[in-house]
Amino acid sequence: MDVSYILDQLNDAQRDAVTADSPGTLVLAGAGSGKTRVLVHRIAWKIQVEGLSPYSIMAVTFTNKAAREMRTRIEELLNNNVQGGMWVGTFHGLAHRLLKAHASEAGLPDNFQILDSDDQLRMMKRIHRELGLDDARWPPRQSCYFVNGHKDEGRRSAHIDDPGGDLYLQTMLRVYRRYEEICQQQGVIDFAELLLRALELWRDNPAVLSHYQQRFKHILVDEFQDTNAVQYAWLRILAGRGMPITAVGDDDQSIYGWRGARIENIQQFSKDFADTRIIRLEQNYRSTGTILSAANAVIQHNSQRLGKELWTSGEDGDPIALFAGFNEHDEARFVTDRIEELLKEDYRRADIGILYRSNAQSRVLEEALIRAGLPYRIYGGQRFYDRLEIKNALAYMRLIALRDDDTAVERVINTPTRGIGNATVETLRHYARDHQLSLWKAAVALVQSGGLAARAGNALRGFLSLVEDLAEKTAEMPLDEQVDYVLSHSGILDFHAREKGEKGQARVENLQELVSAARSFQPEDPEEDILRAFLDQAALDAGDQQADPHEDSVQLMTLHSAKGLEFPIVFMVGVEENLFPHKMSMDDPARLEEERRLAYVGITRAEQKLFLSYAESRRLHGQESFNSLSRFVREIPNELISEVRINNTVSRPTSFANGNLAAQAAAANGMALGQRVLHSIFGAGVVLSFEGQGPSARVQVNFEDEGSKWLVLQYANLQLL
Partner DNA sequence: GAGCTACGTTTTTTT
Partner DNA sequence: AACGTAGCTC
Q: Is 702 helix (H, G, I), strand (E, B) or coil?
A: strand
- Smallest gap, in angstroms, from Cβ of residue 11 to DNA? 30
The reply to whether 32 sits in an annotated binding site is yes
Residue nearer to DNA on the CB measure, 93 or 659: 93
Minimum CB–partner distance for residue 718 and DNA (Å)? 27
x-or-dash string of contact with DNA, 470-499, rule CB under 7 A: ----------------------------x-
Q: Does 501 bind DNA (CB under 7 A)?
A: no
Rule CB under 7 A: is residue 159 a binding residue for DNA? no
Looking at residues 98 to 117 of the shown chain, list those that interact with DNA (rule: CB under 7 A). 116-117
Binding residue (CB under 7 A) for DNA from 3, 131, 274, 360: 360
Q: Which of 195, 169, 7 is nearest to 99 (CA)?
A: 195
CA distance 628 to 655: 12
Of residues 609, 618, 619, the one with CA closest to residue 339: 609
Considering only 87, 176, 191, 571, the residue that binds DNA (CB under 7 A) is 191
Cis bond before residue 416 (omega within 30° of 0): yes
> Which of 92, 128, 333, 698 is in the footprint of DNA by CB under 7 A?
92
Window contacting DNA (CB under 7 A); options: 169-177, 466-474, 615-623, 632-640: 615-623
Nearer to DNA by Cβ, of 194 and 713: the residue is 194
Which ranges constitute the DSSP H helices of 640-680?
Answer: 661-668
Among 15, 102, 125, 411, binds DNA (CB under 7 A): 125
- In the complex with DNA, the residue whose CB is nearer, 133 or 281, is 133
Beta bridge partners of 626: 617
Closest distance to DNA from the beta carbon of 496 (Å): 11
- Shortest Cβ 223–DNA spacing (Å): 11
* φ, ψ for residue 688, nearest 5 deg: -100, -40
Torsion of CA 527, 531, 535, 540, to 10 degrees: 20
Check the CA dihedral 456-462-464-467 and report its sign: negative
Of the residues 267, 414, 458, 510, which one makes contact with DNA according to CB under 7 A: 414
Which residues ranging from 645 to 674 are in contact with DNA (CB under 7 A)? none
Q: Does 605 bind DNA (CB under 7 A)?
A: no
Between residue 197 and residue 256, which ones bind DNA under the rule CB under 7 A?
Answer: 255
Is 36 annotated for ligand binding?
yes
Q: Which amino acid is at 79?
A: N
Strands 606-620 and 567-573, sheet pairing: parallel
Q: Least distance (Å) from DNA to the CB of residue 631?
A: 15
563 in a labelled binding site: no
- Asked if 289 interacts with DNA (CB under 7 A), we say no
CB 601, min distance to DNA, A: 11
Q: Is residue 65 involved in binding DNA (CB under 7 A)?
A: yes
Residue 643 CB partners (closer than 8 Å, separation 6+): 321, 322, 323, 324, 650, 651, 652, 653
Q: Is 34 annotated as a binding residue?
A: yes
Query: Does residue number 359 form part of the binding site for DNA (CB under 7 A)?
Result: yes
Question: Binding mask 532-561 vs DNA (x if CB under 7 A, - otherwise)?
Answer: --------xxx--x-----------xx-xx
CA dihedral 144, 150, 155, 161 (to 10 degrees): -100
| 154: Cα separation from own chain's centroid | 22
| Helices and strands (DSSP H and E) totals, the chain | 29, 22
317 assigned binding-site residue: no
Contacts of 65 (CB under 8 A, 6+ apart): none
Residue (191 or 682) nearer to DNA, CB: 191
132 among annotated binding-site residues: no
Question: Residue 332 annotated as binding?
Answer: no
Least distance (Å) between residue 327 CB and DNA = 13
Interatomic CA distance for residues 443 and 429, integer angstroms: 9
**Long-range contact set of residues 137-140: C-beta below 8 Å, sequence gap at least 24:** 138/171, 138/175
Task: Please tell me whether residue 271 binds DNA under the rule CB under 7 A.
Answer: no
Nearer to DNA by Cβ, of 86 and 562: the residue is: 562
If one asks whether residue 373 binds DNA (CB under 7 A), the answer comes out as: no
Amino acid occupying residue 575 = V
Give the angle 456-461-467 at the CA atoms, nearest 5°. 130
**CB burial class (10 A; 0-12, 13-18, 19+) of residue 407?**
buried
Collapsing DSSP to helix, strand or coil, 102 comes out as: coil
* Binding of residue 622 to DNA (CB under 7 A): yes
Catalytic center residues: 35-36, 222-223, 253, 605
- Would you give the end-to-end CA distance of the chain in angstroms? 82
Of the pair 192, 718, the CB lying nearest DNA is at 192
Q: Are strands 698-703 and 707-712 parallel, antiparallel or unpaired?
A: antiparallel
33 is in an annotated binding site: yes
Q: Which residues pair with 611 in a beta bridge?
A: 321, 571
In angstroms, the CA 37 to CA 45 distance is 12
Amino acid at 565: L
**To the nearest whole angstrom, how small is the minimum distance from the Cβ of residue 467 to DNA?**
18
In the shown chain, the binding pattern of residues 572 to 601 toward DNA, with x for contact by CB under 7 A and - for none, equals: ----------x-xx-----x----------
Angle at 361 between CA 355 and CA 367, to 5 degrees: 100
β-sheet with 57-61: strand ranges across: 87-90, 57-61, 218-221, 245-249, 24-29, 276-281
Examine residue 370 and tell whether it contacts DNA (CB under 7 A): no
Binding of residue 188 to DNA (CB under 7 A): no
- Counting contacts by CB under 7 A, is residue 504 touching DNA? no
Q: Interface residues with DNA (CB under 7 A)?
A: 62-65, 90, 92-93, 116-117, 125, 135-136, 139, 141, 191-192, 255, 258-259, 357-360, 363, 380, 383, 414, 417-419, 498, 500, 540-542, 545, 557-558, 560-561, 582, 584-585, 591, 619, 621-622
Binding residues for ATP: 29-36
Q: Which residues are annotated as a binding site?
A: 29-36
